[in-house]
Amino acid sequence: METFDYSTLTIDRDGEHVLVVKLDRPEVLNAINTQMGRELLDLWTRFTAEPSSARCVVLTGAGDRSFCVGGDLKERDGMSDEAWRAQHEIFERGFAALLNCPLPVIAAVNGHAFGGGLETALACDFVYAARGARLGLTEVRLGIMPGGGGTQTLARAAGERRAKELILTAQQFSAEDAFEWGIVNRLCEPGAALADALETARAIAANAPLSARQAKKSIHYGLQIDLDSAYRFEIEAYNRLVDTEDRREGVRAFNEKRAPEFRGR
């Protein structure tokens, strides 16, 4: 099994195939500093570049107050323009690696999520959030703008008009509003977001892992192209699964009326 050695992230296993990644700087509400940016980039890149026993990842924050409040503004205070851009390059690469991570990633938003914290959740495949959590992309109040994909991911989740309203006003909104607008998949009772996300992660991990990866990829990239091309992409993804042990095992297990034993090959 893989080993992880990070100072700003805590990684635990839930069974053999589910990983829980925790943003672990509760003393600053899990704000993203340069070190966390480097470690997140390394983590998401590893899932792409290296074999892994993981089939699903749940991403959450340490403590019960905050998922992540975005970039660490204390670290950024007095930072030169050159240093700011260099730091943001690390963040940009991390967001891109998360968006393209082959494993399904569920955000368990256990508390408030602002700026880059909300962008991190939006870059995941879907979001479970605790009732009472406050969310927002408030960067225009600071003389910047969302730079972790937020102008794109929020618009895709909630629609162009809603995204413009929320980003240009820099207004905070509730998890309940986010659920109504399609930003959040499920509202959870306070303290239950992680447990609810883990229940779903286990269901995903019980399915054929290659199938889940190919289906995720087909949805993600298909939405960026026209329907006919997207369908052709889907068929290419489908055909890659035909000559796999898991496909043969799935059909055999169905006919034998037993649970399949998928091996990811």
* Domain assignment of residue 1, yes or no: no
Q: Tell whether 26 and 96 lie within a shared domain.
A: yes
pLDDT tens for 130-151 read 999 999 999 999 999 999 999 9
Q: Tell whether 192 and 213 lie within a shared domain.
A: no
Is 60 exceeded by the pLDDT of residue 1?
Answer: no
- Measured CA to CA, the distance from residue 17 to residue 5 in angstroms comes to 19
Query: What's the total number of domains in the chain?
Result: 2
Closest CA to 187 of 89, 110, 99: 110
Q: Tell whether 106 and 221 lie within a shared domain.
A: no
User: pLDDT at position 264, please?
Assistant: 86
Q: pLDDT category, 3, cuts 50, 70, 90?
A: confident
Report the mean per-residue pLDDT for the chain: 95
Q: What is the CATH number of the domain that holds 135?
A: 3.90.226.10
Q: Tell whether 32 and 140 lie within a shared domain.
A: yes
Is 60 exceeded by the pLDDT of residue 226?
Answer: yes
Q: Which residues are catalytic?
A: 119, 139
Q: Tell whether 215 and 189 lie within a shared domain.
A: no
Once rounded to an integer, what is the mean pLDDT over residues 46-56? Answer: 89
Q: What is the CATH number of the domain that holds 249?
A: 1.10.12.10
* Domain assignment of residue 181, yes or no: yes
Question: In Å, how far from its chain's centre is CA 192?
Answer: 18
Q: Tell whether 68 and 178 lie within a shared domain.
A: yes
* Domain assignment of residue 4, yes or no: no
- Measured CA to CA, the distance from residue 55 to residue 22 in angstroms comes to 17
Q: Give the structural domain span for 156.
A: 9-205
pLDDT tens for 28-41 read 999 999 999 999 99
Q: What is the largest CA-CA distance in the chain?
A: 66
Q: Tell whether 221 and 93 lie within a shared domain.
A: no
pLDDT tens for 160-218 read 999 999 999 999 999 999 999 999 999 999 999 999 999 999 999 999 999 999 999 99
* Domain assignment of residue 51, yes or no: yes
User: pLDDT at position 26, please?
Assistant: 96
The answer for residues whose C-beta is within 8 angstroms of residue 111's C-beta and 6 or more apart is 29, 61, 63, 64, 65, 66, 67, 130, 133
